[in-house]
Every structure is written in structure tokens, then in C-alpha cells.
Chain A
Amino acid sequence: MSEKNEKVFGTIRALALKIQDFFSEVPLLGWLFGMVIAVVLERFMGDVLADILGLPKIPVLFGCVIMLKKPLLIPSAFIYVLMIYGLPISIIARLSSKIMNRAAAKLLDFPMLISVMIHISLLYAVLYLWSDLSAYRVLTLKLTLIAIMLTLSLNVVNGYMGEFSCSHPGFMALGAYGASVFTVVLFANDKIFGHAVLSPALGPFMFPIALIVGGIVAALGALVIAIPSFRTRGDYLAIISLAFLFIVKSAIENLEFVGGPRGLSSQPDLASLPTVFIWTMACIWITNNFVRSTLGKALNAVRDDEIAANAMTVNTRRTKIVAFLFAAFWAGVAGGLFAHVLRYVNPSTFGLQKLAEVLAMVYFGGLNSVYGSIVGAVSLSMLGEALRPLEIFKWIIIPLLLILVMIYRPTGLIAFKEFNVGNLVKPKNKSGKRV
């Protein structure tokens, strides 16, 4: 039995290596190009193909939902995904690898920024074309992008700095309410806040300010816990931050002017996909800049040995407070976006469930890693949506997955890895190394 297993695993591993080898020359540009083609294909051919295969409509999330709802349609959904995404992406990426490598090399003659911008625009094109087909996809995508911001900012405290902070949903709530009050007062006619002060046409221009206001409100909240709690470490901070989460939640529940437990609605529709996308990219860029600078690596020094860090001229107190406020700011911005995506917030959203979700994303994806946060946030929010038809069993499968990851990779899937954008956009040579 075990010998047989061994054989099967051996074959699978050999196959995987072969596949890896086959695609080793494809640069990121090639993959993005393949994806653009695939989503364009879906746009024009999706309906027809779905019809031929007997699917009720275009599968929204790579066929997962349909497969779970109607097991009989599994083969059709599978073929659909293969025909629309799998084959076109891999074939085009492989075939175009020579041209794309040359293009990627050419782009590096210009400043790095141009190459990065082209990659990001391609990524945006893919996401836009993919999500444009259904409102559900747009919503899922926006929430996933917001989850990336949340996870990344929590990773700064829990991963890079090695503290265990539980107040992230609290910061998110502060940001959500801060930004919402700002926009509702200025741009919306509301029962509580009365007529709009400014013309709603100004909304899109003022929205960044609203988000920054939300972020600053969250950062001020963080300051309230940072000052007393950074005299303590470990479990104490976890408890203090958890207490803060409950304080924020019950404070909002009891504040009548923001709607109390009924929540706050009538936010103007400002969080469009490009807005959310741009803010997420900004969050990734700034966080990645921060953690790769010596000032940011001071967080790692504080985590690994605070006394040594202090003796090596690192201002540990300042470092910790900056990191905490930084994380809270981005959680606040994410909260502001969240409120404007759903156009309704109520305090019970920001409870323990949300905390568990964000913590799971951080620890699943990988500590001390921007890559890990992106992977964790995307995979868990996609999984959460894809397994939705399973209802209650979803909450058995996802935790089981988490347990498996914790057993086999205790620090998460992609932990302690530097996210070097410069390397990412480089062309690749035969051995798969970026040149």
C-alpha cells in the first residue's frame, strides 16, 4: 500500500516538476498577457460556451459555486474553466514567453516605475474585465482587495513586530465610521445629518480625504492603546487590544448620532473598483517600502531582541508606536473603503468574527511577508466565497485547512520572504531564474 502511494506521489512530483520546467521561462508580463486574453475570451465567448455546456450562466467564481450546488454540472463547469482560463492562459503565456521576455527586458531600459506601472495596469485590466461581467464579482473583488489591506496592516504588528494585537476590527470600525460621517455630512441627504453641505459632484475628489480622515481617527485610537500597553508585551498587549476592540464596538453601539446598533447608512457610492484598487496598491507599495527600509527592519530587531535593538541605537519605543499607528491607519482606510463599498455599516460587523477572519488571513498567508499577506487574504476570502453553498460546513473546512497549514508550515504559507517588485518584473531565462 505504502509502496504504491510512494509511486503515485513520485509520479505526481515528477509531473509537477515537468510542468514547472515547461513554464519556467514565462515572465510575469507573459502571465498577465495570457490572463487579459482569457478574460476577453470570456467576455465574448463565455455565454455561448456556457450555453453549449448546459450551464445556466457564466460560472461566477471559477465554477466552484456551481460545482458545489449541482454536482451533476461538475464536468461542464470543469470544462468551462479549462477552456476559458486554464488552456488560453497557459498556452498564450508559454507561446508568448520569448516576445514577452524581450518586452520585459526592453521595459527595464526605462525607469523601473514605467515597467511596474505597465504591469499594474495590465493587472487592473484583467481584474476589471473579469469582474465587469457580474455585480457579484465586483463586490467579491472589492472585499478581497480590502482584505489585502487589512491583512497587510495587521501583519506589520503581528508579523513584522511580533506582537499580538487583537484590535484590528476596532481600528477598522473607527475608520469606517470616521470616513462615513465625513462623506455623509458633506455629500448625502441623511435623516440624522440633514442635507448635504457640498455638492455631491465633489464627492469623488474629496473621497481620499475622507479615507485619510478615517485612517487618522483609527490611528488616534491606536495611540490610546499604544501609550499604556507598550510597557507590557506578549499576552498583556493581546488582552488590552481585545478590550479596546470591545470598547470601540460598544461605544459605537451607544452613540445615537451615528445610528447606534442600527448602523449608519446612505454613504454615497464612491468606492468604485478603480478607487479600491488604487488604494490597495498604495497600501502594498507604502508598506513594502516601509518594511524594507532600515527604519522598518527595526521592527524585526525589536521583535527578535528588544534589548539588543535598544543597545544598537534603535529607538524601540518610537519604532513600536510608529508601527502600531501605521497599521491602525491602514486598517482605518480599509474600514472607510469597506463602509463605502457596502454603503452601510453597523457595529456588529466589527466583532470577534472579523478579528478571527483577519488573524486567520495573516497566519495562513505567512508572517513577516507582504507576499504572504496577499496570498492569505486572497485565498481565504475567495475560499470563503467559493465554499458558500456548503453553508455551515464551510466553517469546518476552512479551520481544518488552517490547522493543516499550522502543522506543516507554522509561520504560514509564504513567511519571511521579501517582496521585491524589481525582481518580479524582470524577464526570465531558461532555468527559471530572473535575469
Chain B
Amino acid sequence: MALLQVKKMSHEFGGLRAVNNYNLEVEKGQIRGLIGPNGAGKTTIFNLITGIYKPTEGDIILEGKTITGLQPNQIAAYGLGRTFQNMQLWRHMTVLEHVMMARYSRITYGLIGAFFGTAKRHQQEKENEAMAYDLLRMVGIEHHADQIVLNLPYGDQRRVEIARALATEPKILFLDEPTAGMNPEELIQMMEIIRKVHKELNLGIFLIEHRLKVVMELCEMIQTLNFGQVIAEGTPEEIQNDSKVIDAYLGKGTLA
């Protein structure tokens, strides 16, 4: 059975049907892409699956467990990590604190530990710190660990976000435009990081992307979304040559 299944998911904002009859299956270790013009509903689909919105209809199943309608923090703790399109980092916190914070659901020392600084707490915080450093090393920013996150260059902030998402120990990772606003050099580095993370942790990855280069090189399967509806699904080559996709991006019409 697939790691993540979304069945017949629809969502309405007031009278507007933002997502219509959406289906998705992501296998373990698979990289899937979601593309579409602006306003097609890509981020809405992310927000629906990760619990920020509740779908009007449909089911979301993660490893055989229905997670529809759960709180975002519960869904994240079940193993669905994500990043945000506009990097929602915590502006007063250091890089290390970001990654350690994402271990919240694994903390078992409880309030007693937090208030009185028990041995168990120090033990767990130490373990979390060691693990956070491992993740920071994986994305290559361990030398920034004690920096306030806003002082980092843009590309490094993106890496913090990925390390933070990985710290939740996801089985499947959602990346919302991981290369948005990057220069070509940063872009290549980011793709390497995504490949590395994918290979080392054997994650399922589902990503939204605008840059065709990224999608074509990384993804095994791609869905194209327009007006909340999947209009094409297939391998990068198939999508590239699909007339409906070209119409959605470039518009349809005959030259006069």
C-alpha cells in the first residue's frame, strides 16, 4: 500500500471550489512533483493534507491511518513534515533552536522536567541537540548553529527550513517551492541537498515547483494542476509534451 494516499479530496472556500476531486499516491522513497500556474491551488493542497485547512470532502491516509481533520501538529507527529513557500521561520530564534524545536513531539520529560530541570530533561535535550547538529551537518550549515536565523543569507535560511522539517522525523516530506527566489548556484546546491536527503533517509518527497529544471530532474512522477483540478499526470517527459499542460501555462488560441 502506498505511504500516503489522498482520495477524492475537495475543498471549498465559501462558494469557490479551490480543489476538486484530487487524488494522490506517494510510495516510500518516491519523489513526486506538483506543478501548475499561479493560483491553481497547489499550496491549498499542501495545506489541506498537512491539516492547516480541513477538506470539505475526501480522505487522507498516511500508512493506513486516516489523518483527515487532525490538528497540524498531530499530522506532523505522524510523519508528515513540510516546508513553507515563504519560509516561516521564527525570527528571534537561533538555527539550532529551530531544529531542536521541531523535536517537540518526541519530548517526554513533560512540564515537571521543564520546570525543575530534571536529569531526564538534560539527557533528552542533549540527545536532541546532537541530532539537530547531525541534521545541520547534512544540509551544510552547522557552522551557523548559534546564529539568529534572520542573520543568515537567503539560501541558508532555506536550508534551515529543510533541517527543521527533517527534525520532525518525517516519513514523507512536503516541499513548497524549495528553490523560490534562488540564484542558479543556490538552486543547484538545493537540488543536491534534496537528492542527498532523499537518498540518506529514504523519504517520500512531494514538492511544488515552478522551475521546470528542478521538477524534470528530480521527480519520477508529476501532476499538473489547473483551477483545482489535475489535468495531467505522468513522467516528466509525458508532462512536457502534454498539450493540456502547455495550454494551461501558455494559454490556448489560434494565431490570428
Looking at A88-96, A238-246, A289-297, A387-395, the stretch in contact with chain B turns out to be A289-297
Q: Is B17 an interface residue (CB 8 A)?
A: no
B93 touches A304 (CB 8 A): yes
Of A295, A303, A311, which contacts B76 at CB under 8 A?
A: A311
Of A290, A294, A307, which contacts B104 at CB under 8 A?
A: A294
A310 touches B115 (CB 8 A): no
Given contacts A311-B73, A311-B76, A313-B76, contact A289 B102 (CB under 8 A): no
Cβ–Cβ < 8 Å partners of A296 in chain B? 114
B116 touches A316 (CB 8 A): no
A368 touches B111 (CB 8 A): no
Looking at B81-89, B192-200, B247-255, the stretch in contact with chain A turns out to be B81-89
Cβ–Cβ < 8 Å partners of A305 in chain B? 88-91
Docked pose: A301 CA to B71 CA in angstroms: 17
Cβ–Cβ < 8 Å partners of A310 in chain B? 52, 71-73, 76
Q: Is A286 an interface residue (CB 8 A)?
A: yes
Total count of chain B residues near the partner, CB < 8 A: 38
Q: Closest residue to B168 on the A side, CB-wise?
A: A313
Cβ–Cβ < 8 Å partners of B171 in chain A? none
Q: Is B125 an interface residue (CB 8 A)?
A: yes
Mask of B53-67 contacts with A, CB within 8 angstroms, 1/0 = 000000000000000
B89 touches A315 (CB 8 A): no
Tell me if A's interface is mostly helix, strand, loop or mixed: helix
Near A by CB (< 8 A), chain B positions 104-127 give: 104-105, 107, 109-111, 113-117, 121, 125
Docked pose: A286 CA to B118 CA in angstroms: 11
Given contacts A293-B125, A295-B114, A307-B88, contact A313 B93 (CB under 8 A): no
Q: Closest residue to B77 on the A side, CB-wise?
A: A313
A315 touches B73 (CB 8 A): yes
Given contacts A308-B84, A313-B73, contact A300 B93 (CB under 8 A): yes
Q: How far is the CB of B177 from chain A (nearest CB, A)?
A: 15
A313 touches B125 (CB 8 A): no
B90 touches A368 (CB 8 A): no
Identify the interface centre among A296, A307, A312: most chain B CB within 10 Å of its CB: A312
| Contacts between chains A and B (CB distance < 8 A), count | 103
Q: Is B92 an interface residue (CB 8 A)?
A: yes
Identify the interface centre among B50, B90, B93, B114: most chain A CB within 10 Å of its CB: B114
Q: Is B11 an interface residue (CB 8 A)?
A: no
Q: Is A298 an interface residue (CB 8 A)?
A: yes
Docked pose: A54 CA to B185 CA in angstroms: 77
B125 touches A289 (CB 8 A): no
Q: Closest residue to B174 on the A side, CB-wise?
A: A311
Q: Is A128 an interface residue (CB 8 A)?
A: no
B168 touches A294 (CB 8 A): no
Q: Closest residue to A286 on the B side, CB-wise?
A: B115
Cβ–Cβ < 8 Å partners of A311 in chain B? 50, 52, 72-73, 76, 82, 84
A322 touches B111 (CB 8 A): yes
Q: How far is the CB of A369 from chain B (nearest CB, A)?
A: 11
A300 touches B102 (CB 8 A): no
Mask of B154-183 contacts with A, CB within 8 angstroms, 1/0 = 000000000011011000000000000000
Q: Is A419 an interface residue (CB 8 A)?
A: no
Q: Is A314 an interface residue (CB 8 A)?
A: yes
A286 touches B73 (CB 8 A): no
A289 touches B116 (CB 8 A): yes
Docked pose: A303 CA to B89 CA in angstroms: 11
Cβ–Cβ < 8 Å partners of B84 in chain A? 307-308, 311
Q: Is B42 an interface residue (CB 8 A)?
A: no
Cβ–Cβ < 8 Å partners of B103 in chain A? 294, 313
Cβ–Cβ < 8 Å partners of B110 in chain A? 295
Q: Closest residue to B118 on the A side, CB-wise?
A: A289
Q: Is A416 an interface residue (CB 8 A)?
A: yes
A304 touches B125 (CB 8 A): no
Of A301, A307, A314, A315, which contacts B93 at CB under 8 A?
A: A301
Docked pose: A315 CA to B70 CA in angstroms: 12
Cβ–Cβ < 8 Å partners of A322 in chain B? 111
A298 touches B104 (CB 8 A): yes
Given contacts A294-B128, A308-B84, A312-B164, contact A289 B73 (CB under 8 A): no
Q: List 22 A-B contacts (CB under 8 A).
A: A286-B116, A289-B114, A293-B109, A293-B121, A294-B104, A295-B113, A297-B97, A297-B100, A298-B104, A300-B97, A301-B93, A304-B90, A304-B93, A305-B90, A307-B72, A307-B84, A309-B90, A309-B101, A311-B52, A311-B82, A311-B84, A314-B104
Closest 3 CB pairs of A and B: A304-B90, A308-B88, A313-B105
Q: A312-B101, A313-B104 are in contact. List 8 more A-B contacts (CB 8 A).
A: A289-B116, A293-B117, A293-B125, A295-B113, A295-B114, A310-B71, A313-B103, A316-B73
